[in-house]
Structure 1
Amino acid sequence: MSITTLAATRVYLGQKYGHLGEELRLSFEAFPYTGLSKPYCVDNNVADSACSGTAYFTGVKANSGTVGLSAGAKRGDCKAQRDGFYSVTGLMDWAQRVGKRTGVVTTTRVTHATPAAAYAHAADRLWEADSDLPSHGLHCDDIATQLVQGRVGSRINVIFGGGRRNFIPKGEKDMEGYVGRRSDDKNLIREWLMRKAASGTPAKFIYNRYELLHLDTSSRSDVLGLFSPDHMPYHLDAEASDPTLSEMTQTAIKLLANNKEGFFLFVEGGRIDTAHHETKARKALDETAEFAKAVEAALRLVNPEETLIVVTSDHSHTMSYSGYSKRGTDILGFTNKMNASDSLPYTTLSYANGPGYRPHEYFKRQDLYLEDLKNPNFTYPALVPIGRETHGGEDVAVFAKGPWAHLFTGNYEQNYIPHAIAYAACIGQGLTSCKIS
């Protein structure tokens, strides 16, 4: 969710409702305090979601591809993961230790790199199920196993997202007929329910929108909601049985808020990222608009005097926004000033690299007038051919509202964010607002 993505989404959302668009503000852009964070990894100048998630959950910068481990652990080093010496915990753990209820909401797989950084320690972000682990050498716990069995993961009260296949054995189908991915014959959904029952915790598993909307949110039940075998579908592709990010967010808050010690909730609009990787700008902007709606929904349910809300990004992407178009020009269409020097049109949005690259013929670009820009799966042009568009390396925005929100102004390292949240929330072992005289 780069700043470019935010700017383009304002126009997308505004034009959708009959405005020019540039003058709009997304829900969180109205927050009183803003800042910039620097999202690089220890070993890479452009961050991936594993190292950046680790930074803003734990307060420790990490190597690319590693989750919940300090930079002493290299990607793929199972021994470093097993030893535990490099394991780092953060906001989820700190909140649980003081009695807060905790939750994770995402539109990706709940075992994907970003949500995994909340609870897991993995030397490779790709080790989501046991079938993803190397077939030889030491055995490490996969991320799905850590969500169910881990000290932090097993204590998360509300988990909403996709990724059902990573919890079900290969020889077994889930409730919608999809086959699992696990090689160890374990059904981790059943195990999660059994573990909750053994601890005397009321718990429920759900898998569709109807079940989500009919939960008894007045109870203190723990809820695992896995709404898709893989990532949840894009909002533009969703069916009536698929919950929206706003619905998941609202339900999570209602389930968590009934607690005198308060709660910590992480909400991710993760498919903004996957749409950009596919250079599907229309879907990326629509997912950003859905994320802004989720923030707005959250604001309606919490007390702004006692709830800190921080909105930020893992990293940016390479989408650019250019061309001198007149206001009112379709943000997802062509610029309307002039063609390029090859006499062909170009789009206002494009990418530095990615699958949207089109080979030149006779020293000219492909004529985009021959393509359907209205198709949600249209891949926007890219300069460099690559199977998946890469992240960008520039700073990303941080927006804050609520107690101690002024701590998030200025320019700072990404791993500063959880320390500032912990200071405001009086959690963790560091200096907090409750410890100052």
Structure 2
Amino acid sequence: MPTLHSPRTLLSTLPFARRGLSGAGLAMGLILTTATSVATAQTFYPAPAEESPEYWQALGQAELQRALARTPNTNRAKNVILFVGDGMGISTITAARIFDAQMQGSAGEENLLTFERFPYVGLSKTYNTNQQTADSAGTMSAMMTGIKTRAGVIGVNQYADRADCQSSLGKEVPSLMQDAAERGLATGFVTTTRITHATPAATYAHSPERNWESDANLSEEAIANGCQDIAAQLLSFDFGTGINVAMGGGLAAFVPTSETESLTGQAGQRLDGRNLTREWLQKYNDSAFIWNKDQLAALDTTTTRHVLGLFSRSQMRYSHDRAGDDASEPDLPTMTETAIRVLQQQGQDEGFFLMVEAGRIDHAHHAGNAYRALQDTRELSAAVQKAMAMTNDSDTLIIVTADHSHTLTMGGYATRGNPILGAVVGNDDHGHPHSGVSIANDDMPYTTLGYRDGLGFAEAGGGDRRYGIPGAAGRANLREVDTTHPDFHQEALVPLESEGHAGEDVAIYARGPWAHLIHSTHEQHYIYHVMRHALGW
């Protein structure tokens, strides 16, 4: 009888060069357990000891009383911080909250990430004007400009054709960060992607093509019609006193081919001969250009008015791969803390706007690697905690959301406390855990987490991953595979070169002034209007 499941990529290498991703840490190979069965090798996590019928009653009443006591905060927001978990759909948040607790030894289902404790929650409809399932450029542009637009374009309206410079001229839409700078607020953004990547670029740039990150990427038509690459637009941001904080990866787009980078010693990408890191220092008084975590730690945030931090040639490393004392890259909470310190100093009078992106959640999902996606979600939660500790919700609106979702799914009827990355162990007819893993109709185990599409369709069976042709082995037998290992890649159904975005709504979490305006199912561009209203504009 044919199975609905298809062969699986345990550890695959994506076409990273084509997609502009980093494959650090995604090595090939199977991770074998020392036990003869996945079930005997898995660690099961205990539910909290205090759980009882009385506990659940008290918990429900306590939550009800907190809701009844809540009153809207209608202060004018002095500061706004927008956190974006790129690709952080609701299934990612659910899995990450369980993963977070299990990393600390508890069952996890009862856990909450930092931002899940915010008092106001809504949903965001993420479609683009021309696409049912969205991309980051169009979605982040919606959040930054207050209008929906096409997939693949940045800061221009829906009447601009993608990758057509001429059609985009005059279609530019001001971003919230531009308006904030013009009104005297300090401004900045932090990301774990290249700072010219779609999400951060939407805070400061206007382009009909998200991939025009360097002048080396511009088309002949774009050059002929005067379109500027995204990296160069960071330097031509002349609203107010300019950008105070820009930190992430992507150094190559700022250095010409005739020079080598400070960070890697490799030649830059720019063809126009411009070194934009030097231009940053020339453009701004009391400015800094830094490229490693030690320089970030040594930065004087009381006197530095403008800081450009480029900590990798391309994307920054995943949180899991960045760990360790010898890592040269800072983590997202540290970058967030430094950004807030600079912005608080420069925005003492008028306040500040900051965007923080955990951008590599998206890339790990594209790789079909849930471990790294969940670990980067945990890092985002820690960055939100840092921002909460450094600000006051009486005058600072914090919004946490995603630009779009991914096809990560969670199912399989696993027992309570089953490892979120593990093989499913279900319950018997009396509601108690089975002694072994659940078995599919093809006589093999399966995991709680999986993807709708991606490379996971084919490789493990020895077939052709380009076309998803199964090998003789079919699905991989997970009985002796450690599916909780960071390098394990979940199974997928539809054969694609890269796992793709999903089109369902994503969550919006809010606290601070006017956070109660997040209350329903909203069009994504509504987030812009809430931030603008909170600032009193």
Same fold per superposition (TM over 0.5): yes
Match of residue 249 from structure 2: 162
Match of residue 279 from structure 1: 368
Does the Cα contact within 8 Å between 1:119 and 1:153 map onto a contact in 2? no
Q: Give the TM-score, by structure 2 length.
A: 0.76
Does the Cα contact within 8 Å between 2:237 and 2:243 map onto a contact in 1? no
Call closer, same or farther: CA 1:42–1:152 in 2, change over 3 Å. farther
- From 344, 349, 353, give the equivalent of 2:453: 353
SS at match of 2:337: helix
Match of residue 46 from structure 2: none
Matched to 2:213, the amino acid is: E
Matched to 1:278, the amino acid is: A
Does 1:331 find its partner at 2:420? yes
Match of residue 128 from structure 1: 213
Match of residue 75 from structure 1: 162
Query: How do residues 306-385 of structure 1 correspond to structure 2 at under 5 angstroms?
Result: 306-337=395-426, 338-358=438-458, 359=461, 360-362=470-472, 364-369=474-479, 371-385=481-495
Q: How many residues align?
A: 421
SS at match of 2:530: helix
Between 25-34 and 232-241, report the one with greater CA deviation.
232-241
Call closer, same or farther: CA 1:242–1:234 in 2, change over 3 Å. same
Match of residue 148 from structure 2: 61
Distance in 1 between residues matched to 2:417 and 2:260, nearest whole Å? 49
Does the Cα contact within 8 Å between 2:186 and 2:353 map onto a contact in 1? yes
SS at match of 1:56: helix
Cα distance, 1:214 vs. partner? 1.4
Query: How do residues 237-248 of structure 1 correspond to structure 2 at under 5 angstroms?
Result: 237-238=321-322, 239-248=326-335
Where structure 1 has 5 or more consecutive residues not aligned to the other structure, the ranges are: 428-437
Instruction: Please provide the CA RMSD for this pair.
Output: 1.5
Match of residue 314 from structure 2: 230
Distance in 1 between residues matched to 2:130 and 2:304, nearest whole Å? 42
Does the Cα contact within 8 Å between 1:146 and 1:154 map onto a contact in 2? no
Cα distance, 1:98 vs. partner? 1.4
Distance in 2 between residues matched to 1:44 and 1:399, nearest whole Å? 25
Q: Give the TM-score, by structure 1 length.
A: 0.94
Match of residue 383 from structure 2: 294
Q: What is the aligned-residue identity percentage?
A: 46
Cα distance, 1:388 vs. partner? 1.3
Where structure 2 has 5 or more consecutive residues not aligned to the other structure, the ranges are: 1-87, 427-437, 462-469
Query: How do residues 131-146 of structure 1 correspond to structure 2 at under 5 angstroms?
Result: 131-135=216-220, 137-146=224-233
Does the Cα contact within 8 Å between 1:105 and 1:268 map onto a contact in 2? yes
- From 399, 405, 409, give the equivalent of 2:519: 409
Does the Cα contact within 8 Å between 2:292 and 2:311 map onto a contact in 1? yes
Does the Cα contact within 8 Å between 1:277 and 1:388 map onto a contact in 2? yes
Match of residue 30 from structure 2: none
Distance in 2 between residues matched to 1:17 and 1:384, nearest whole Å? 34
Cα displacement string for residues 103-125 of structure 1 (whole angstroms, at most 9, x for unaligned residues): 10000000000000001001100
Does the Cα contact within 8 Å between 2:184 and 2:241 map onto a contact in 1? no
Match of residue 435 from structure 1: none
Cα distance, 1:202 vs. partner? 1.0
Match of residue 356 from structure 2: 267
SS at match of 2:521: strand
Higher relative contact order (CA 8 A, sep 6+): 2
Distance in 2 between residues matched to 1:292 and 1:66, nearest whole Å? 29
Match of residue 190 from structure 2: 105
Match of residue 118 from structure 2: 31
Does 1:185 find its partner at 2:273? yes
Distance in 1 between residues matched to 2:304 and 2:226, nearest whole Å? 36
Does the Cα contact within 8 Å between 2:156 and 2:172 map onto a contact in 1? yes
